[in-house]
Structure 1
C-alpha cells in the first residue's frame, strides 16, 4: 500500500520529532502517548493513500484544461530561471493558494465540518499534523499545487516545495517551545500555528498560512502573543475514531440546521 520510501520517511520523522519533543517540550507534562495518539498513527500510515489518489484525480482533470489556458512561453520563462528562484516563487504562490483555501474551510459551514476533524486535536504534537480529513487535504492541497502545475514550474522546484511543506507542517504542530524570534513574522512556527488551534475566543479565524506567517500579517489575520495557548480543540462533539471522523461531516450535514448564532463555525471552534 505504501512504498518503501514512505515508510522510511515516517521512520525519519518519528526519529527526529519524538526526541525533539522530549528535549524541548512546550508542555512537559504531555505524554508521547497522549489521548487518541493511536488514531493519529492510523492517519499517518493510511490517510495519505486516499489523499494521493484524490489529488491525482483533481490535478489530472485540471491539467486537461490548463495547457490551453496558460501560454507555453510563460512556462518556458519560469523554467529558465535558477532553481533557487523557482523554489521561492513556488513556495509563495502555493502558500497564497493554501491561505485562501484554509480561510474558506473556516468561513463556510459545510467545509468547516471537514476541517473540524483537524481542529478536534486537544493536545498538540508532531502526530497532530496528520489528523486531517481526506476531503480537507485534497481540496486544500489542490489550491496549492494547481497554480504550480498550471504555471509550469520545474519538477525540482515542485519537489523542494513539497519537502518544505511536509516537514514544516509537522514541525509547527509539534509539542516544542522552539521560537523563531523576529523571523516569526515571516515564517510559520509552532508559536504561530499553536494559536491557530487555540480554543480561545481571541484566536478564532487567525493564522491561516502554512509556511509564511507574513501572509496573515498582510491579510489582517495574524494573532501571535508572546505567551502560548492554554487550551486546544473545539467545543463541538467531534468523534475520536478514524472511521467515525470520516463520516462525521456527512452525518452533521444531514442534521437539522440550528439558528445561525448556534450553527456558525466561529461560535463552535477555535481557528
Structure 2
C-alpha cells in the first residue's frame, strides 16, 4: 500500500502526459484525450476510496450535483476555447515566434512553464484584489478536498486565469496540438492538486504543487491560506515568499472553506450569481 501512495502522483502526472504526447506524435485525434482523462479520474476516485487522506472527504457534502455541473461547464469551456484557436490565430496579423521545430514534448514543456507563471500570478492577485476574489471565492467555498474540486470554479474566474496563462502562448503562435496537450495537463494537475488520495510525494513537494502542498492554500483563514498559489509548480511561490509546507499538519473539513463567509452558498446557480450580489 505504501508503494501505491508513493507512485500514485508521479504515475498519473508523468504517465498520462507522456501517453498524451505519444498519442499525438502518432497522429491520434484530439478526442483521445477525453477517455484518457476519464481513466485518470476513475483511478483517482478509486484510490480515494482505497487509501483516502480523510475518510470524511469521500462523503458528499450536498455538493455532488454542483461539482459535476462545474466540471461539465468548465471543461466544455476549455475545449471550446482550444477549438477556437485556429480562428483566433487567423485574426493575429503575424506568424509569431513559436518554436515549431522543437519536439512535441519540448513545446508542451514550454507551454506548461509559461502557463504556470501566468496562472499563478493571476491566482495570487485573486486573493489581493476584491473584484477578483468575489469570483475566486467560489473555489474556496469547498468543505472537502477531492478530485473534482480543481474544476469547481466560477467560469468567469476560470476565464481570467486562462487568459493570464495562455495569452502569451497564443500570441506567440502556439499550435492547436500543444494547446490540447496543455489543457489536458492542466486537468490532470487540478485532479492531483485536490485529490483525497493519501499520496506520499517526498522531495517532489519542492517542485510540484500537488495535494499535500495545495491543501494549505484551502485553509479558511486568510492569514494561513494565502500561500501556495502555484498551479504546476512551487517555483513562483518561492519568488513570492508564499511557499509553505509542514508535513505534520493534518487537515479536516473544519479547516476548509471561507472563514469570513461560513454560510457561502453551496448550490451551483447560487454560486454563479453570488459574486454579483452586494457583499
TM-score (normalizing by structure 2):
0.77
Q: CA separation in 2, counterparts of 1:56 and 1:249? A: 29
**1:169 positional shift:** 0.5
Q: CA separation in 1, counterparts of 2:57 and 2:88? A: 44
8 Å contact 2:58–2:146 — kept in the other structure? no
Instruction: Report which stretch shifted further, 89-98 or 6-15.
Output: 6-15
**1:160 positional shift:** 2.6
8 Å contact 1:192–1:224 — kept in the other structure? yes
Aligned to 2:267: 241
CA change 1:12–1:162 in 2 (3 A) is: same
**1:118 positional shift:** 0.5
**1:171 positional shift:** 1.3
Aligned to 1:225: 246
Give the CA RMSD over aligned residues: 2.8
Q: CA separation in 1, counterparts of 2:117 and 2:147? A: 24
How many corresponding residue pairs? Answer: 245
**1:15 positional shift:** 1.6
Query: What pairs with 1:122-137 in structure 2 (closer than 5 Å)?
Result: 122-137=143-158
| Local SS of the residue matching 2:265 | coil
Among residues 195, 212, 215, which one is paired with 1:174 in the alignment? 195
> Gaps (5+ residues) in structure 2?
1-30
Aligned to 1:191: 212
CA change 1:219–1:58 in 2 (3 A) is: farther
Q: CA separation in 1, counterparts of 2:225 and 2:59? A: 27
**1:99 positional shift:** 0.9
**1:246 positional shift:** 0.6
TM-score (normalizing by structure 1):
0.79
CA change 1:225–1:200 in 2 (3 A) is: farther
CA distances 1:53-106 after superposition (whole Å, capped 9, x unpaired): 578889966973x545xx64x23xx11122222222111111001011111211
Name the structure, 1 or 2, with higher relative contact order (CA <8 Å, separation 6+).
2
Q: CA separation in 2, counterparts of 1:182 and 1:11? A: 28
**1:136 positional shift:** 0.5
| Local SS of the residue matching 1:107 | coil
Among residues 10, 20, 23, which one is paired with 2:50 in the alignment? 23
